Amino acid sequence: MDTEAVVSEDSGPDRKRRVHGMLKLYYGLNEEGKAEEEAQSLDPCDINGPHFDPEHFLNKLRRECSLAELMDQETCMVKQIRSLDSDMQTLVYENYNKFISATDTIRKMKNDFKKMEDEMDCLSANMSAITDFSARISGTLQDQHAQITKLSGVHTLLRKLQFLFELPARLNKCLEMQAYAQAVRSHRLARCVLQQYSHLPSFKGIQDDCHAIMDKLAQELRQKFRDGGSSAKDLSECVELLLQLDEPAEELCDKFLSHARSRLESDLQGLEAEIRPYPSASAVKDASVRRLSSPASTGSPAASSPKASAIFSPSSNTDILEFIDRGCNEFVSSLCLVITSYQELFVSHAQTGELASKNIPQMANAKLHAFVDDLAARYFSLVERRIQEEKGVGDNSLLVRALDRFHRRLQAVTKLLPGSSVPSKGTEIVIRAATERVKQYLAALQSFYMDSLTDVRQALATPRLSVASASVGGGGGPSGRDGPNSLPELLSSLSASILNQIKSVLASVHLFTAKDITFSNKPYFKGEFCSQGVRESLVVSFIKFICQSSRQFCESAGDKGGSTPPALLLLLSRLCLDYETSTISYILTLTDEQFLVQHHSPVTPVTTLCTEAREAAQKLLNHYVKVQGLIISQMLRKSVETRDWVNTIEPRNVRAVMKRVVEDTTSIDVQVGLLYEEGVRKAHSSDSSKRTFSVYSSSRQQVRYAASYTPSAPMDTNLLSNIHKLFSERIDIFSSVEFNKVSVMTGIIKISLKTFLECVRLRTFGRYGLQQIQVDCHYLQMYLWRFVSDENLVHFLLDEIVGSSAHRCLDPAPMEQSVIEVICERG
């Protein structure tokens, strides 16, 4: 009962296992289970353990559990026992059934095997009979079989022999028919055999014959190869055959290349002939070369070249586009062809074929590179020479198209020869050509500018009806010398024509960077060409040139003072000023926009150029003032120096020279007014022209004062004029002027009057001399005040003149102011 209770205690999945374990035990499969159980537990209280001690377990339960728990335990155990029982019954039943059916099967098998044994016996009997028969048949047939085998062997051998014997004849025939390829194939088939049996005299004979024929063939092939008349395709075939004939590959490479070289060189010579200016000779050669040129030339875009050559540059035989076209079509395409066939023959073939040792491709490649480099170098030198001849800057598109084509065609070489330096050199040539072009454009712009200046100079030199002549005809332009040339018109036409020229040059140069040009996407053309080439060395250099040449006008004319017409100075100064205010930034913006300049390297900023232009403008204007001032000074000086002021008659008129000075000043005023704004001037007194000479009276006072001078009182004599000077600003005579009319006029008048003053101080005057000066000064006073920014300046200088002449007068008896006024107004 205890055992049952213990067994029924188990529940769930454990139970099943336990049942199986027991069955295992029953069938003697317990070894495994035993080991498991031993590992499991040694606990005597484990109801499923092998060491279970019912007594111990019961005692433990009784000791540890309450009654109720014991009751529960008991019920549980009974339940378990019951279920174990039923399980056992089921298992027994199942096993019994299986046992019954197994017994049945075994019985049935016993019956079947007996039948099968009989059949097997029968089969073995039959088989032995068959073996018997077969042995008999093969015994009878054996003789014939050996014979047949032998016969077929002989047949094959005979066929081979026949081939061999026929070989020389066949080769000869092939040779006759020039079917070299077949001959070589045949020979190759026979070669090994002949080689093997060469100790037999008959075969030896055949071999010798074959050798002789093949030698002849090789000779012929080589001949053909050497002749060079054959097409590239033939040639490559030749080479292929020769290679198969075990010709040394290196030699073949050399020969192939030298042959190709001769052809390419003839192309090059044709090109060279184009460069030399022998029209008739080159025409003849042209034709001959054309015949030689590869068929590829028909496919290239040569359509435009004849038309182009008809239009441009009679100085050179063919225009550059045509030249490049020819170069591309003849030389470059032949070169490509050579490269392709060469590579096919020596490089790719050698890589796959069995006929070459390993280093042939490398050797061949090296040779090819050297060859291509050499020829390309010559080609490039020719192209460069031709490009250098391209001096005219008329039409850039032709050159650009030519360069584009040149560059484009070289791309083919890149594809064929990946490692070659040819394309990069080609690009270099293009770059050089482009920079050269930019330089030429700069030179052209400069000469254009100088020409324009010459035109302007001539226009200024032609006599005009009047300085102020309102321009009627217009048009002007640097070339239109006949039209009425007013300064503003000349200026506008000059600046417009310069601007147009710059624009057209920019447009021309822009072609280099057009989208459809192959080299335009090279980094050089994207970056450096735009910023350094176009912007810096073309536009900026030109602007600098303008400033510089303007400055040179100041310097070269500095000593003589007359080589440049003053009007030109004025005009240039205005031009430079306009450049400073707007044109420079406009041009540079235009350039930057057109060329999308990305400045990688530092570029000249607009402000620097503007400063330079302004400096030039300032210098020109200063120089203009100086020149005009000197012209007037010269008149005044001559008039003072050449006169005997002591013995002169009483003044009745303003001297003619003063009228001339006023006239000239007026015309200068008009001239300057045409180009420069009025400028600011200090407020005038209500009636400036009527102003009396205060200093004249002061100088008279001075004279009176001087009469009572004491030698012990220094500094007193000139007190008044000194005080005057103390309060007036120091006058810089040859100083910088501002960019307006008033300032310019002030400068000129300052220079003139200061000269007048200095000259007066060097002379001695009689009474009437002084009076004449008075009259003259009053006259100047009447007319000059209106030109200057500060009339006090004129007053001051004129006062000084009169004062100084009074000082230098032997008999200072001044003229009455009213008389002076009468004389001046009459004049």
Contact positions vs another protein (CB under 8 A): 558-561, 630, 646-647, 706, 709-718, 721-722, 725-726, 730, 732-735, 754, 758, 761, 764, 766, 807-810
Q: Which of 443, 596, 427, 588 is nearest to 510 (CA)?
A: 596
Contact 674, 746 (CB under 8 A): no
Q: CB nearer to another protein: give 499 or 703.
A: 703
- Report the distance separating Cα 181 and Cα 164, nearest Å: 18
- Report the distance separating Cα 437 and Cα 529, nearest Å: 11
Q: How far is the CB of 810 from another protein (least distance, A)?
A: 5
Q: How far is the CB of 795 from another protein (least distance, A)?
A: 17
Integer angstrom CA distances of residue 638 from 13, 196, 651, 748: 144, 124, 18, 17
Phi/psi of residue 424, nearest 5 degrees: -65, -35
Q: In angstroms, how far is the first alpha carbon of the chain from the final one?
A: 170
Q: How far is the CB of 711 from another protein (least distance, A)?
A: 5
Q: How far is the CB of 811 from another protein (least distance, A)?
A: 9
Q: CB nearer to another protein: give 626 or 681.
A: 626
Q: Is the dihedral of CA 257, 260, 262, 268 positive or negative?
A: negative
Q: How far is the CB of 721 from another protein (least distance, A)?
A: 7
Structure token pair of residue 180: 């070299």
Q: CB nearer to another protein: give 484 or 812.
A: 812
Q: How far is the CB of 454 from another protein (least distance, A)?
A: 24
Q: CB nearer to another protein: give 21 or 766.
A: 766
- Report the distance separating Cα 467 and Cα 376, nearest Å: 65
CA dihedral of 726, 728, 730, 734, whole degrees rounded to 10: -150
Q: CB nearer to another protein: give 570 or 809.
A: 809
Q: CB nearer to another protein: give 626 or 778.
A: 626
764 Cβ partners below 8 Å, 6+ apart? 645, 646, 808, 809, 810
Q: How far is the CB of 804 from another protein (least distance, A)?
A: 8
Q: CB nearer to another protein: give 361 or 766.
A: 766
User: Tokens 């092998």 — which residue?
Assistant: 50
Contact 792, 781 (CB under 8 A): no
- Report the distance separating Cα 601 and Cα 604, nearest Å: 10
Q: How far is the CB of 621 from another protein (least distance, A)?
A: 16
Backbone region of residue 749 per phi and psi (left: phi > 0; alpha: psi in -120 to 50; beta: other values): alpha
Q: CB nearer to another protein: give 386 or 754.
A: 754
Burial 324-343 (b: 16+ CB within 10 A, else e): bbbbbbbbbbbbbbbbebbb
Q: CB nearer to another protein: give 503 or 637.
A: 637
Q: How far is the CB of 555 from another protein (least distance, A)?
A: 11
Backbone region of residue 53 per phi and psi (left: phi > 0; alpha: psi in -120 to 50; beta: other values): beta
Q: How far is the CB of 725 from another protein (least distance, A)?
A: 4
In this structure, the chain runs to a length of 827
Q: CB nearer to another protein: give 424 or 764.
A: 764
Residue 77: HSE in the Cβ half-sphere, 13 Å Cα cutoff: 17
Q: How far is the CB of 330 from another protein (least distance, A)?
A: 58
- Report the distance separating Cα 565 and Cα 84, nearest Å: 140
- Report the distance separating Cα 33 and Cα 453, nearest Å: 123
Q: CB nearer to another protein: give 449 or 624.
A: 624
Integer angstrom CA distances of residue 587 from 40, 71, 540, 546, 816: 102, 116, 9, 14, 62
